[in-house]
Amino acid sequence: MAEQYDKVIEYISGLISSGELESGSRLPAERAISEELSVSRNSAREALHTLEHMGIMKSVHGSGNYLSDNMSAGMSEMFRFMLLLKQVSKDDVRRFRCDMEKMICRNIIASGRTDLDRIERIFDLDCSEAERDRLFHYELVYTEGNKLWICLMEAISDVYREWITDVLEASDENRKNTLHKLHRAILDALRSGDMERCEEAIDKHYNNRVGGYPLIE
């Protein structure tokens, strides 16, 4: 049974590698896979279910199975279960995001990017502080441009956002202003190419207290 299951996974991987399948493509039906590989329908079904749980595939009722165009959603669920099972902690997630954002900013500075107007415009948006914070950090990773960083940031942010939104919605104006200043400090450091100042602002955002309170309890 395990060999048949592996055979199905390898078959789907091969279709992706050859370019026959891409994001959003419809996968062959269970019966077609079973007949093509001479494996049982149960093995084909189990393999497809595994791909769905991993976020690689999505099932559309009455239509079929499709390769996901949002892999980060599956990664988010994985992170949630890791937290529930206490394999990682909130502090692990916070420190990972902090270190990841430093690397993203380091790459932006190293590339000499000066087109940071999309980040700048976030400061003038009429939205909640939680939404402004979300957009600020998303724009950082999208400006850097590495697709793996983007996928990781989206997956981690889906989990992290649930905590930070509650904190920011309960924050007073002093705390919100402090967070705003830290975002501004990060952007100003990027514009001037000063990684030391940038890391200092990121550390204050993630590691220290904002307005006298920890961002993540």
The pLDDT tens digits of the residues spanning 72-101 come to 667 777 777 788 888 888 888 888 889 999
How do 64-67 and 213-214 pair as beta strands?
unpaired
| C-alpha torsion 62→68→70→71, nearest 10 | 130
SS3 214: strand
The pLDDT tens digits of the residues spanning 168-210 come to 676 677 777 888 899 999 999 999 999 999 999 999 888 754 4
Structure tokens at 131: 């939404």
Secondary structure element (H or E) that encloses residue 150, with its range:
helix 147-169
The position carrying tokens 């430093």 is 102
- Which distant-in-sequence residues (6+ apart) come within 8 Å of 116 by Cβ? 143, 187, 190, 191
Q: How far is CA 7 from the centre of its chain?
A: 30
CA gap 110, 17 in Å, rounded: 32
* Integer angstrom CA distances of residue 181 from 73, 84, 88, 101, 210: 31, 34, 30, 17, 10
The pLDDT tens digits of the residues spanning 97-140 come to 899 999 999 999 999 887 899 899 999 988 887 788 888 988 99
- DSSP tag of 64: E
pTM score: 0.69
Q: Strand pairing partners for 66?
A: 26, 58
Q: What is the phi/psi pair of residue 64, to 5°?
A: 135, -165
